Each structure stands twice: as C-alpha cells, then as structure tokens.
Amino acid sequence: MHADLERGVTVLTLVPGAPLAEAGLAPAAVVAAYRRMGELLAAWHRIAMPAFGYLTTGLVDPRPDNAGFVREQFGRHLATFAAHGGDAGLHDAIRTRLAADGELLEACDGAVLCHNDFHEGNVLVDEAGAVTGFVDVENAIAADPLLDLAKTLQYDTERSPEKRAALLAGYGPLPPDADARVDLYRLFHSLELWAYFASIGNTGPLPSIADDIRELAG
C-alpha cells in the first residue's frame, strides 16, 4: 500500500493468520498448505518481467539474461566468501561447479516475478490450515522461476518428502532440466546465506552452511 524509503517502512494490507512455522498444525494440514504454497508460487511465476534483477520500486541494475545475472551474483557472493575467510578449497569447488554446469543457466529465456524468500515463516495460515497470505516481500526479484522454487525446496522440504511432493504437485509441470537447475540454484542460495551471515558477523551458522555448500558443490 505504501513504501517510505526514507524511514525504511513498507505498509501492507492486514492479512489474518499465523506463520505456518508457528501454527502447530496436524501433518495432513501442513501437507495441504504446501500444495497451496506451490500454487501461489506458480501464480507469481506467471507474471513476466522485462529483465533480470532485484526489485525495490523498480528493477535494480537490470540484466538482459539469466546466465549473466546469476554468474554476477555468484561472483559477488564468492568475493564475500573469500573476504570473510571462507575455505579456499571450497571457494574453488564452487567455481568449478559453476564452470561445469553454468550452461544450465542459459535454459531460462525470460524473467518472472519471484518472492525469493517463500518459506514457512513467511506463509500465513488460519486455524484450519488454509493459507491466508504471505509476507516479507522485501527480497522480491525478477529471475528464473526455478531460482525461487529452489529456495523454498532448500529451506523447507529437504528433510520432508511429503512437503516436497505437495509443493511440486501444487506448482505443476517443470521443464526436463529442472532437477539439475534446482540443484545448482541450491548451491547459490547456500553460498548467499553464508555470505549474508558472514557480512553481519554472525559466524555461528557458517560451519553447517559450509557443509551444505561442500555437498552441493560435489
């Protein structure tokens, strides 16, 4: 409804409900909510964007193609990784993985609107488990829809096949290379998360994130 850039305030419509992560729902209701989450993500991803980039009141430093945009972001986070003492061997492993599989980035031929932080803490549900809305749109991005889907899979479904299956059922058909692209984007999101925590001085989570990076980098 309103954005005050000077004070850093965003005003949204009031949406009833509580975060899914805190709702204490029965397992069947959680699975149903994940199916609805998949439907919502798919709806976001039907909104085409003119270029790739992060969003505020418009596209920030837009890029014309997915490969160039994602490689640039990998490079930025790798620089943070190195500057904050990230393992040199792991740094090289990420670069090697990107060089080997970077052609996957060229499969996306157009940007769409992505939430870019769509997880249980940002999805609201009522007492029956029906999804009432979502919050925290400050990370919104124009990007490959699979970049967005990968983040939700990374954060919420890694240890729950039931959640993953429900999310994907709600989302609908995926391209043939979806698994490979999602896997590469999961590496990106892990590196991004490591860089974020390191940049704010929160070193506690870094070893476990590094383990995730090591596994995803192969």
pLDDT digit string (tens) for the chain, length 218 residues: 888 889 988 888 888 999 999 999 999 999 999 999 999 999 999 999 999 999 988 899 999 999 999 999 999 999 999 999 999 999 999 999 999 999 999 999 899 999 999 999 999 999 999 999 999 888 999 999 999 999 999 886 667 899 999 999 999 999 999 999 999 999 999 999 999 999 999 999 999 999 999 999 98
Q: Supply the pTM of this predicted model.
A: 0.91
Q: Where are the domains of the chain?
A: 15-217
Predicted pLDDT of residue 178: 96
Instruction: Tell me 7's DSSP state.
Output: T
Task: Report d(CA 148, CA 124) in Å as an integer.
Answer: 18
Residue 166 is encoded by which pair of tokens?
Answer: 């429900």
Pick the CATH number of 15-217 from 3.40.50.720, 3.90.1200.10, 3.40.50.2300, 3.40.47.10: 3.90.1200.10
Which of 187, 185, 181, 183 minimizes the C-alpha distance to 210? 187
